[in-house]
Amino acid sequence: MEKVALRFLRITYSHTHAGAYALILTEANGDRRLPIIIGGVEAQAIAIQVENIKPARPLTHDLFKSVGDQMGVSLKEVVINDLVEGIFHAKLIMEQNGKTAEIDARSSDAIALALRYDCPINTYEFILSAAGLKVDESEEGGEEGKEQKKEKRERKGKTTADKPITAQSMDELQQLLREALANEDYEVASKLRDEIKRRETTN
């Protein structure tokens, strides 16, 4: 299967899962986002590397890399290779003395290590097609634009957003999806996308 290159974009706080975060990966040569829900500890392990924070003592992923460096083991690639019941699976492509090995890993651990090794992150088209969200870059508009959109949405009061997803019309779902993407609320966007796909399949 042909691989699709990804890159780390950001981590955002989860609006629907208390204490959880959304790890956002973006298509390197496209406009799709891949949101992955992770826990607070996993988010911290990634944020520490992204922010270039040096902890007083090695964290687990730093220890993994230190051991690997001492033993001549390198991480050549991370592949998000499956999506099972909403859970992303990943594998580490490790190399030592010219030999490679594939190791099963949680997607959050795989990304934390990929950032430390500065190695490629890839996935497959079927995963992006199933779980990716297409974003119009012109709608992102920075923090000020997002705040204005949020205030506008809040001023609407009782609107279609107050109805359950299953009670929305297709036009309402499409509008809510555009709003969720514009506000970078990828979790809500994922649920809306799944409902739209479900209806398109059953009709």
Q: What is the pLDDT of residues 42-52, one digit of tens each?
A: 999 999 999 98
Enter the DSSP assignment of 17. Answer: S
Domain residue spans in the chain? 3-131, 137-202
d(CA 33, CA 194): 15
Task: Report which of 25, 114, 45, 116 is spatially closest to residue 77, judged by C-alpha positions.
Answer: 114
Per-residue confidence band for 164, with pLDDT thresholds at 50, 70 and 90: confident
Enclosing H/E stretch for 44? helix 40-50
% pLDDT > 90, the chain: 56
> Tokens representing 159?
């609107």
Enter the DSSP assignment of 54. Answer: -
Write the Ramachandran bin of 72: left for phi over 0, alpha for psi from -120 to 50, otherwise beta.
left
pLDDT of residue 18: 74
Q: At what angle do helices 40-50 and 60-70 cross, to 10 degrees?
A: 60
Q: What is the pLDDT of residues 85-105, one digit of tens each?
A: 889 999 999 999 999 999 999
What CATH class does 3-131 carry? Answer: alpha beta
Answer with the residue of higher pLDDT: 156 or 9: 9
- pTM metric for this prediction: 0.73
Q: At what angle do helices 40-50 and 107-117 cross, to 10 degrees?
A: 10
Report residue 138: phi and psi, to 5°. -70, -15
Task: Report which of 70, 127, 116, 71 is spatially closest to residue 92, judged by C-alpha positions.
Answer: 116
